[in-house]
């Protein structure tokens, strides 16, 4: 068992429960006499120092009676909880151990029972047996059984899919032994939480039965029957009703707090949620220009207006809330009609760069830049949303999760046109069909009326591309558009992108971890490493193997080529540094075969070499272009 993680609700709940238990034990001795003492000279009194909860119509002290009623109330609730949990666990286990057909039917029956109000179920049992303490306990216990049984089967089913259970099953362990040795021990903890919840439910329901007059019968009394009696005279004096109400609320809160506390203790991560993308994300390095080297694309400069093109980025950083830079001072431009690829390992910051350009960073991440001009909009300001929606088209990585499952494909494709373009539903649909045809989606008239789950993966990604092109965007950002697809579909999707570029002249920024994908359709390639641009080169240089940066060369060496029948693939030794542990020098230095002292000490700046650029110290001591 893990150590209990104490938290405020848990401590509060346990303390209150302990106090209630103590009261239940000592109450008959301490308050027993007072609870029965009638005083006709002091009937229907309000709360006072002498009578904390006032007096009832016989002048009896309501506080004393409430305290005395604690014992029967708690005992009955505890007994009902035992029946519910034991019965539920047995029923759930039996259903689970039985064959698949019995299990199916059993679960259906439990579902029906659960959907039936348990109070009514308890009332029926109370009607069959004589009303009284035992009847109430049995009634509430049985009425809570189905919920317990279902949770047991659910928990058992979730444990049963784990590896060690399948292994045991393969080894021929029978279902009974499986249940006893593997399943029950693993669901003990959630069942414990459940029992504390069941106790609260039982207490509420039992008291409810007594309120209705079909629970504990006079002369015995619990909180519920006190409440019912108090309710009768509430206009004369509210205290006989309020007193037991306070007790019921305190007990209910104690149970609720224990439930909340146990749940929080079992799942401490739930309170501090960090976006998943952030956790996965990237590495970084800071920028410092090397004296003497000709600096290129400096982050603090601004691209002159006539050279801006479709994308002009200067000194773009993506920063976490704690100041960690996941993308660190990246600068580049994309010209009109160009296809520019961004490659790098996962965590290199390439997708974050793309999302910063699309203004779609996850919650908790923020983009900083000296210049961030995309599709004619200054993203550092507040560009009008309808223009932004139309001018930037985006193709996401996973077509299965990027379409809204509850909306028809057509409405999703045409939403920007309809909402921001004021195009009518019919005209928008016609254009969607047209665009889907261009994207080679079969039977487009049918597809727009279907839901995403009715389309195949490749078809969904083609529809996504059609969706992005529907508004004739100035820039198409494709974030790993082929990663989630079958190899056979990948080439098809790349061809579509290329076609859109030649047909409509749309500018494309293609993000990929696959250097093969990038070299297939791009004009120019940016290689990212640890949140920075390591190299920028033309696709001709890339294909010819004319890479300058040692990282790019290592990447190429690690990629198989179809044209080469033999040849060793060289994996890159080591791993990229975590953002928090980035070195003061070149981030690639620890893995670089050429690294010298200067690489560890100083960060290299991007230097122009031929038609490209690279950030590497080795270029200053090595003749350019020599392989």
Partner 1 sequence: MRSPWFRFIVRRLIGLAGVLIVLVAGTFLMVQLIPGDPAQLVAGPNAAPEQVTHVRETLGLDQPLWNQFTDYTRGILSADLGNSFATGEPVSKVIASRLPFTAQLAFASIVLVLLISVPLGMAIAVACQGGRRRWLDSAFTGATSFFGAIPEYVFGVLLIFIFAVSLGLLPNSGAATVSAMILPVAAVSVGPVCTLARIVRRETTVVLAQDYMRTARGRRLRPLRLYTRHALPNLLTSTLTLGGLILASLLGGTIIVEFIFNWPGLGTRIISAIVSRDYPVIQGVVLVVGLLAAVINLLVDVVLGLTDARTLSGKAGTR
From the list 18-26, 34-42, 113-121, 577-585, the region that binds partner 1 by CB under 8 A is 113-121
When binding is defined by CB under 8 A, the residue of 25, 288, 419, 558 that contacts partner 1 is: 419
Kindly list the distances between the CA atom of residue 190 and the CA atoms of 32, 152, 187, 272, 507, in Å, as whole numbers in the listed order: 39, 9, 6, 21, 54
Cβ-based nearer residue to partner 1, 270 or 563: 270
* Residue 14 touches partner 1, criterion: CB under 8 A: no
* Residue 120 touches partner 1, criterion: CB under 8 A: yes
The DSSP annotation for 532-564 comes to EEEEEEEHHHHHHT---SHHHHHHHHTS--SS-
Cβ-based nearer residue to partner 1, 101 or 272: 272
From the list 62-70, 185-193, 226-234, 308-316, the region that binds partner 1 by CB under 8 A is 226-234
CB of 550 to partner 1, least distance (A): 35
From the list 42-50, 89-97, 274-282, 548-556, the region that binds partner 1 by CB under 8 A is 274-282
Residues 355-374 that bind partner 1 (CB under 8 A): 358, 360, 362-364
- In the numeric block, the tokens 């580049």 are attached to 332
Kindly list the distances between the CA atom of residue 213 and the CA atoms of 120, 133, 235, in Å, as whole numbers in the listed order: 14, 12, 20
Instruction: Give the C-alpha separation, 357 to 334, whole Å.
Output: 12
315: left (phi over 0), alpha (psi -120 to 50) or beta: left
Determine the distance from the C-alpha atom of residue 624 to the mean position of all C-alpha atoms in its chain, rounded to a whole number. Answer: 48
User: Any residues with CB less than 8 A from the CB of 603 and at least 6 apart, and which?
Assistant: 285, 286, 287, 288, 290, 584, 585, 586, 615
User: Any residues with CB less than 8 A from the CB of 194 and at least 6 apart, and which?
Assistant: 85, 148, 151
From the list 21-29, 401-409, 433-441, 574-582, the region that binds partner 1 by CB under 8 A is 401-409
Question: Which helix (DSSP H) or strand (DSSP E) does residue 200 occupy?
Answer: helix 184-211
CB of 197 to partner 1, least distance (A): 11
Cβ-based nearer residue to partner 1, 214 or 587: 214
CB of 562 to partner 1, least distance (A): 32
Q: Determine the 3-state secondary structure of 371 from DSSP.
A: strand
24 CB neighbour count, 10 Å cutoff: 19
When binding is defined by CB under 8 A, the residue of 14, 16, 75, 119 that contacts partner 1 is: 119
* Residue 161 touches partner 1, criterion: CB under 8 A: no
CB of 81 to partner 1, least distance (A): 16
The DSSP annotation for 54-109 comes to -B-TT--BHHHHHHHHHHHHHHHHHHHHHHHHHHHHHHHHHHHHS-HHHHHHHHHH
When binding is defined by CB under 8 A, the residue of 36, 338, 345, 398 that contacts partner 1 is: 398
Cβ-based nearer residue to partner 1, 101 or 276: 276
Cβ-based nearer residue to partner 1, 372 or 613: 372
Cβ-based nearer residue to partner 1, 394 or 423: 394
- In the numeric block, the tokens 């039977």 are attached to 443
Residues 488-547 that bind partner 1 (CB under 8 A): none
* Residue 123 touches partner 1, criterion: CB under 8 A: yes
Q: Site for partner 1 (CB under 8 A): how many residues? A: 75
* Residue 101 touches partner 1, criterion: CB under 8 A: no
Q: What are phi and psi of 534, to 5 degrees?
A: -85, -40
CB of 255 to partner 1, least distance (A): 7
- What is the DSSP secondary structure assignment for residue 267, as one 8-state letter? -
From the list 171-179, 224-232, 344-352, 431-439, the region that binds partner 1 by CB under 8 A is 224-232
From the list 75-83, 85-93, 388-396, 550-558, the region that binds partner 1 by CB under 8 A is 388-396
Nearest to 62, CA basis, from 41, 36, 40: 36
Cβ-based nearer residue to partner 1, 405 or 426: 405
Cβ-based nearer residue to partner 1, 3 or 382: 382
CB of 67 to partner 1, least distance (A): 18
Tokens of 46: 């309000």
Residues 233-272 that bind partner 1 (CB under 8 A): 234-235, 238, 241-242, 245, 248-249, 252-253, 255-257, 260, 272
* Residue 604 touches partner 1, criterion: CB under 8 A: no
When binding is defined by CB under 8 A, the residue of 200, 202, 482, 552 that contacts partner 1 is: 200
From the list 227-235, 298-306, 585-593, 598-606, the region that binds partner 1 by CB under 8 A is 227-235
Tokens of 179: 């249940």
Tokens of 579: 């953002």
Instruction: Give the C-alpha separation, 234 to 562, whole Å.
Output: 88
Cβ-based nearer residue to partner 1, 346 or 559: 346
Kindly list the distances between the CA atom of residue 339 and the CA atoms of 44, 359, 460, 484, in Å, as whole numbers in the listed order: 87, 20, 23, 21
* Residue 281 touches partner 1, criterion: CB under 8 A: no
Residues 424-483 that bind partner 1 (CB under 8 A): 451, 453
Nearest to 512, CA basis, from 320, 288, 351, 310: 351
Cβ-based nearer residue to partner 1, 3 or 273: 273
CB of 393 to partner 1, least distance (A): 9
* Residue 403 touches partner 1, criterion: CB under 8 A: yes
Strand ranges across the sheet with 612-614:
392-395, 475-479, 507-512, 339-343, 524-529, 532-538, 612-614, 607-609
Instruction: Give the C-alpha separation, 6 to 389, whole Å.
Output: 48
When binding is defined by CB under 8 A, the residue of 117, 219, 291, 560 that contacts partner 1 is: 117
When binding is defined by CB under 8 A, the residue of 47, 57, 97, 231 that contacts partner 1 is: 231
């Amino acid at each position: 068992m893990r150590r209990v993680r104490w938290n405020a609700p848990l401590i509060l709940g346990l303390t209150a429960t302990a106090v209630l238990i103590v009261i239940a034990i000592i109450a008959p001795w301490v308050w027993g006499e007072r609870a029965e003492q009638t005083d006709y000279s002091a009937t229907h009194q309000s709360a006072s120092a002498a009578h904390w909860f006032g007096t009832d119509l016989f002048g009896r002290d309501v506080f004393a009676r409430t305290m005395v009623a604690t014992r029967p109330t708690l005992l009955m609730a505890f007994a009902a909880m035992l029946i519910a949990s034991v019965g539920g666990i047995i029923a759930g286990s039996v259903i689970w151990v039985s064959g698949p057909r019995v299990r199916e039917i059993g679960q259906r029956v439990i579902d029906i029972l659960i959907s039936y109000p348990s109070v009514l179920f308890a009332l029926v049992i109370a009607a069959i047996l004589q009303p009284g303490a035992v009847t109430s306990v049995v009634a509430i216990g049985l009425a809570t059984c189905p919920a317990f049984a279902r949770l047991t089967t659910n928990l058992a089913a979730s444990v049963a899919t784990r590896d060690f259970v399948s292994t045991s099953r393969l080894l021929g362990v029978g279902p009974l032994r499986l249940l006893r040795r593997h399943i029950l021990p693993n669901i003990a903890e959630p069942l414990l939480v459940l029992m504390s919840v069941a106790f609260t439910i039982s207490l509420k329901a039992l008291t409810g039965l007594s309120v209705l007059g079909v629970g504990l019968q006079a002369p015995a009394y619990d909180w519920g029957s006190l409440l019912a009696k108090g309710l009768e005279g509430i206009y004369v004096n509210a205290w006989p009703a309020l007193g037991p109400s306070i007790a019921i609320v305190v007990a209910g809160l104690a149970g609720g707090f224990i439930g909340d506390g146990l749940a929080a203790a079992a799942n401490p991560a739930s309170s501090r949620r960090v976006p998943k993308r952030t956790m996965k994300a990237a590495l970084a390095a800071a920028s410092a220009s090397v004296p003497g080297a000709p600096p290129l694309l400096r982050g603090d400069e601004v691209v002159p207006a006539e050279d801006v093109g479709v994308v002009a980025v200067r000194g773009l950083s993506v920063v976490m809330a704690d100041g960690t830079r996941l993308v660190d001072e990246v600068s580049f431009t994309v010209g009109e009609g160009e296809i520019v690829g961004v490659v790098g390992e996962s965590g290199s910051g390439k997708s974050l760069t793309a999302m910063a350009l699309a203004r779609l960073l996850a919650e908790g991440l923020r983009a900083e830049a000296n210049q961030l001009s995309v599709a004619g909009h200054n993203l550092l300001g507040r560009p009008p949303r309808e223009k932004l929606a139309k001018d930037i088209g985006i193709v996401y990585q996973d077509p299965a999760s990027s379409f809204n499952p509850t909306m028809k494909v057509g409405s999703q494709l045409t939403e920007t046109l309809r909402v921001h373009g004021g195009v009518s539903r019919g005209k928008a649909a016609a254009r969607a069909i047209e665009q889907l045809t261009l994207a080679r989606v079969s039977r487009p008239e049918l597809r727009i009326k279907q839901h995403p789950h009715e389309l195949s993966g490749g078809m969904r990604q083609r529809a996504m591309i059609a969706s992005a092109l529907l508004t004739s965007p100035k820039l198409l950002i494709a974030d790993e558009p082929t990663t989630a697809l079958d190899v056979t579909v990948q080439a098809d999707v790349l061809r579509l992108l290329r076609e859109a570029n030649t047909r409509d002249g749309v500018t494309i920024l293609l993000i990929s971890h696959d250097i093969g994908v990038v070299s297939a359709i791009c004009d120019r390639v940016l290689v990212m490493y640890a949140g920075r641009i390591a190299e920028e080169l033309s696709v001709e240089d890339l294909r010819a193997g004319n890479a300058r940066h040692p990282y790019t060369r290592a990447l190429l060496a690690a990629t198989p080529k179809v044209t080469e029948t033999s040849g060793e693939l060289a994996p890159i030794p080591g791993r990229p540094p975590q953002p928090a542990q980035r070195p003061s020098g070149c981030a690639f230095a620890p893995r670089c075969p050429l690294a010298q002292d200067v690489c560890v000490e100083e960060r290299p700046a991007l230097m122009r070499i031929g038609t490209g650029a690279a950030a590497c110290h080795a270029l200053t001591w090595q003749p350019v272009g020599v392989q």
